[in-house]
Amino acid sequence: MQHTNSRIYACALELVELAKGVLDQLPDGYGFLADQLRRAAASVPLNFAEGCGKHSVRDRQRYFLSAKGSAYEVAAILDVAGRFGVISADIHSRGSDLCDHLAAMLSKYK
Half-sphere exposure (Cβ direction) of 39: Cα atoms closer than 13 Å:
8
The answer to whether residues 15 and 74 touch, using CB atoms and an 8 Å cutoff, is: yes
Whether this prediction's pTM lies above 0.75 is answered by yes
For residue 64, the model assigns a pLDDT of 96
Cα of 25 vs its chain's centroid, Å: 18
Q: What is the pLDDT of residue 110?
A: 61
What is the mean pLDDT, run by run of 10 residues, along the chain of 110 residues?
Answer: 85 98 96 97 97 92 97 98 97 98 89
Domains (range + CATH), the chain: 3-108 (1.20.1440.60)
> Nearest-CA neighbor of 33 among 94, 88, 74, 89?
74
Q: What is the pLDDT of residue 99?
A: 98
Task: Single out the residue of 102, 79, 101, 104 nearest to residue 92, CA to CA.
Answer: 79
CA distance 78 to 90: 11
